[in-house]
Chain A
Amino acid sequence: MNFVVNKSDLKVVGSRPVRPDGVDKVTGRAQFGADMALPGMLIGRIKRSPHPHARIVSIDTSKALALPGVKAVVTAADFPDIASEEAFVGEGPMNFRDLSRNCMARDKVLYEGHAVAAVAAISDAAAEAALDAIAVEYEVLPHVIDAEAAMAADAPLLHADLFTAGMEPKPTAPSNVAKRVHFGLGDIAAGFAAAEVVVEGRYTTQAVHQAYIEPHACIASANADGQSVIYGSSQGHFMVRAYVAKLLGMDMSNIRVVPLEIGGGFGGKTVVYLEPLALQLSRKTGRPVKMVMTREEVFRATGPTSGGTVEVKIGAKKDGTITAAQARLVFQAGAYGGSPVGAAAMCAFACYDVANVDVEGFDVVSNRPKVAAYRAPGAPIAAFAVEGAMDDLARKLDMDPIALREKNGAKAGTKAAYGPTFPDIGFLQVLAAAKAHPHYSAPLGPNQGRGVAVGFWFNIGGESSASVFVNEDGTVNVVSGSPDIGGSRASMAMMAAEVLGVPVESVRPIVADTAAIGFTGVTGGSRVTYATGMATVQAAEKVVEQLKQRAALIWDISPDAVDWKDGEAVPAGANAGGFDPLPLAAIALKAAKTGGPITAEVSINAQGAGPGFGAHICDVEVDPETGYTTILRYTAVQDVGRAIHPSYVEGQIQGGAVQGIGWALNEEYVYDGKGMLQNPGFLDYRVPVASDLPMIEPVLVEVPNKRHPFGVRGVGEVPIVPPMGAVGNAIRAAIGQRMHDLPMSPPRIRAALSK
């Protein structure tokens, strides 16, 4: 199918039908991870470390196993000792050995909450009693929480075999620095020498959790012949299969993973925590084992994303032309290497066309839970610093902040410092829309301020599979391998309906299990509507070809003489013959007589996902007495390529912006001096609530991505990139001071105001 240029040619794409899974979700029928039960099911629970860093001297499970109703206990001794091996299964780098040890500590515990044993019992109470009865002897070791402290030469060492990657020559001594990344463009010294104005700053952000409302949950059921099924919610059931197979040394064909509805993930469910333990307990007991985390466990042992320190320096000419941009990033990785510092470094200056760039990043382990992907991993942390510096630069130059960004904005043909040359991108169009928006020129009152910030995310494509089945009555089913986390089933049905020329209500989509559809990567990287959408479109196109062939057979003419139009086969021209149109249903009815079922499955590795850009405008009012910041108005402009279902595109933008607002104002992991997390609950870890917020106005700019049949770009991640900068710049405007440290909470702002 050719790229669809004219929006007016589209009938279904761009409309706002009710999502096909909607009724189940408003009536309580939708089955999420914790909603299933199987006959004979046991309850699994995890024993966790009370220390941030300790050697495991011994684990005595005998008393637990002797308790009534306790069926099995597993520790690291029950799992294969996995060799170090890089894996690219989820979103971002992961090492199989680290993953295995993160799921079940071996030799050492590396953070408070690290799993040391798991039990399966006939009831929650029996499992709870078993946890208490497991005796673990620890040799407590000195711990380190802060990443910069962990870089010190005398810091407690987490891994004796961790030598910093990316250093030449290779270090001779182990350290807590897992990796150094460094890249640049041009000549950074010459760039600063040419600058007439320089701004710099040191910014810090705190670890924040994805805070999906659904805690991790699964049921695993192993059979005596080795065949197993895992039911659960995740951002990728093929990811679950790959990790579990590796961690347990099983064949993939013996593990079927059935995706249940997922109650939010935001990147945090692109890894496994429970599934390998539940399956191992099931293999040991011969019974299904259900495991559900408590909220406290979610906070202590899953996610979060890195806290980071970013030093940024930008030089420019008096006319605003940036001559040099430099950043140094230090990111918490948690207990094992693998923070998103690399992505953050690449995104840092990606919005700008700068000739001289130098970016260095450090991935640092410390006694915190291993970080997991969180929506545009790393990018918001870099953007908070860079956009703060850009705001300072605009002030120094007395330039309009959007004009400054326009002057230096990336466009088609710009060579990004991280490597590629941008194709058609919509950054300048986004800036123009922001500048023209009435919000940007609306009046402000006392103690109020307005901030602007921009953001970039790569967006990805990758491996996806989709099937389209025409049913005997002419209705259609669409099957894909992408867990639907925010309405993607609706998009798949809409794209298939558009190609087939049928009403979207006649196309019903499902997400199939690992044995029922070809491999599909995780729902992450803003890739599903792009890549799985492309597979769906291609499958629907194949079905259209078959429908044309069947019509040709019925009419006894050449398939070339048949066109497909509005859901019907029509003769391609007068020469083809004077046949009445054959609707899809009529062709489906005769399928048996014309060659059998009309179906197509397509598996692709989609390339060419279009980069995404956004610009946010935020108004705040800061109470000078309490330091409390109220968000008064918020507008989020984004190039979305083309919105398949505009309501769900808007929803992505609104939700991402609000997560960013929480990151900016409230959210943080708080540790005490003993390395214990102090706020593992929603009371003390405060995500934004409805009364904290105004309406969030999304503005969709559509610069179609020519690599996708309908012009789709990923949209889910960009919107979390600008908010911390936008809120910070608004607070700067309101109080006359730059807040360099997140969260910009009332105590911090009060302290700044009393200086």
Chain B
Amino acid sequence: MSRHHVTATVNGEPAEFLCDSQNSLLDALRNELRLTGTKEGCGSGDCGACSVIVDGRLVCSCLMLAVEAEGKTIQTIEGLADGDRLHPLQRKFLEHAALQCGFCTPGFLVAAKALLDHNPDPTETEARFWLAGNLCRCTGYDKIIRAVMDAAAEMRQEAAA
């Protein structure tokens, strides 16, 4: 069985990998590209730990076939920071202690980025419903929501300045 050759843009750089027909994008990111920041928590699209942004859309990479990535632009947690400059969401997660074990954190950050890309000024309720697809078992979400709201406020201020 020959494998498929896929070419995509991952975190702003050209990337190519081989995959089987049944492989998910998550498999390809983790096993072929060794981008292990994207996590597998369920493999069924219920936990959001594998969240990535594909052509501007937030998706669970465990529910997308790797071959579907052909020609797509993919953003993962590894591409969130600008070199050694953390994204405001990353900084706020640290300042607010919005992570404990840290396993769900990449998925939350990617999902929160997608939220702020779409809606720079979400209400707390909007943020809670947007992030309802991401499970965190450690924090009770309180500090995560505060971090996202604080990052949004800071980004709005910077955009206005």
Contact = CB atoms under 8 A, between A and B. Distances in A.
Interface of A: 16, 18-19, 21-23, 25-32, 34-35, 37, 125, 210-215, 261-266, 292, 294-295, 485-487, 645, 647-648, 650-652, 654-659, 681-683, 687-693, 695-696
A487 B105 CA distance: 14
Question: In terms of DSSP, what is the predominant structure of the interface of chain B?
Answer: loop
Nearest to B100: A486
A261 to B, nearest CB: 7
Contact of B142 (A654, A683, A691): A654
Nearest to A654: B140
A18 to B, nearest CB: 5
Given A26-B106, A27-B86, A659-B140, 15 more contacts: A19-B97, A37-B34, A264-B103, A295-B41, A645-B97, A648-B100, A650-B97, A654-B140, A655-B140, A682-B41, A683-B46, A689-B131, A690-B145, A691-B128, A693-B141
Nearest to B37: A28
B101 A214 contact: yes
15 contacts: A18-B95, A25-B99, A26-B80, A26-B99, A125-B20, A213-B104, A214-B41, A263-B101, A648-B97, A651-B100, A654-B142, A681-B44, A689-B141, A692-B132, A693-B140
Contacts of B28: none
A294 B99 contact: no
A205 B139 CA distance: 23
A693 B43 contact: no
B99 A654 contact: no
Interface string B108-133: 01000000000000000101110111
B142 A263 contact: no
A19 B143 contact: no
Contacts of B142: 654, 693, 695-696
A683 B77 CA distance: 24
A615 B93 CA distance: 28
Contact of A32 (B39, B42, B136, B140): B39
Question: In terms of DSSP, what is the predominant structure of the interface of chain A?
Answer: loop
A693 B100 contact: no
A655 B138 contact: yes
A699 B102 CA distance: 24
A689 B138 CA distance: 12
B73 interface: no
A486 B102 CA distance: 8
A263 B37 contact: no
B63 interface: no
Contacts of B145: 690, 695
Contacts of A31: 36
Nearest to B96: A647
B35 to A, nearest CB: 7
Contacts of B141: 658, 688-690, 693
B61 interface: no
B58 to A, nearest CB: 15
B144 interface: yes
Given A213-B135, A486-B138, A22 B41 contact: no
Contacts of A261: 101-103
Kindly name the residue among A16, A28, A651, A688 whose own CB sees the greatest number of chain B CB atoms within 10 A.
A28
B101 A28 contact: no
B101 A262 contact: yes
A654 to B, nearest CB: 4
Contacts of A645: 97
B21 to A, nearest CB: 11
Contacts of B135: 213, 682, 687, 689
B69 interface: no
Contacts of A696: 140, 142
B48 to A, nearest CB: 9
A657 to B, nearest CB: 6
A655 B49 CA distance: 18
Contacts of A690: 127-129, 131-132, 134, 136, 141, 144-145
B101 A212 contact: yes
Nearest to B98: A651
Contact of A215 (B40, B99, B105, B109): B40
Interface in B132-161: 132-146
Nearest to A27: B81
Q: Please provide the 6 A-B residue pairs with the shortest distance between their CB atoms, ordered closest to farther.
A: A28-B37, A263-B103, A658-B140, A25-B102, A647-B97, A682-B46
B143 A23 contact: no
A201 B152 CA distance: 49
Given A23-B86, A654-B142, A681-B46, A28 B136 contact: no
B101 to A, nearest CB: 4
B94 interface: yes
Contact of B137 (A27, A35, A215, A655): A655
Kindly name the residue among B81, B90, B136, B141 whose own CB sees the greatest number of chain A CB atoms within 10 A.
B141
Contact of B86 (A26, A215, A688): A26
Contacts of B94: 18-19, 22-23, 26
B140 A213 contact: no
A183 B81 CA distance: 58
B93 A26 contact: yes
Contacts of A654: 139-140, 142-143
A31 B90 CA distance: 18
Contact of A655 (B96, B129, B139): B139
B25 interface: no
Given A263-B103, A696-B142, A35 B132 contact: no
B97 A651 contact: yes
Contacts of B143: 647, 650-651, 654
Contacts of A657: 140
B27 to A, nearest CB: 8
A26 B138 contact: no
Contacts of B125: 691
A651 B144 CA distance: 10
Nearest to B93: A26
A292 to B, nearest CB: 8
Nearest to A26: B90
B119 to A, nearest CB: 15
A266 B99 contact: no
Nearest to B34: A37
B38 A32 contact: no
Given A26-B86, A485-B101, A695-B142, A687 B128 contact: no
Given A28-B78, A654-B143, A691 B129 contact: yes
A37 to B, nearest CB: 8
Contacts of B80: 26-28
Contacts of A23: 86, 90, 94
B132 to A, nearest CB: 4
Contacts of A486: 100-101, 138
B39 A263 contact: yes
B100 A487 contact: yes
A539 B30 CA distance: 40
Contact of B44 (A210, A682, A689, A691): A682
Contacts of B34: 37
B132 A689 contact: yes
B44 A263 contact: no
A521 to B, nearest CB: 19
A213 B41 contact: yes
Contact of A295 (B37, B44, B95, B144): B44
Nearest to A689: B132
Contacts of B140: 651, 654-659, 688, 693, 696
Contact of A214 (B20, B31, B103, B133): B103
A29 B80 CA distance: 12
B139 A28 contact: no
A230 to B, nearest CB: 19
Contacts of A19: 94, 97
Kindly name the residue among A34, A214, A652 whose own CB sees the greatest number of chain B CB atoms within 10 A.
A214
Contact of A27 (B37, B43, B46, B133): B37
A34 B27 CA distance: 12
Contact of B90 (A27, A211, A263): A27
B100 A22 contact: no
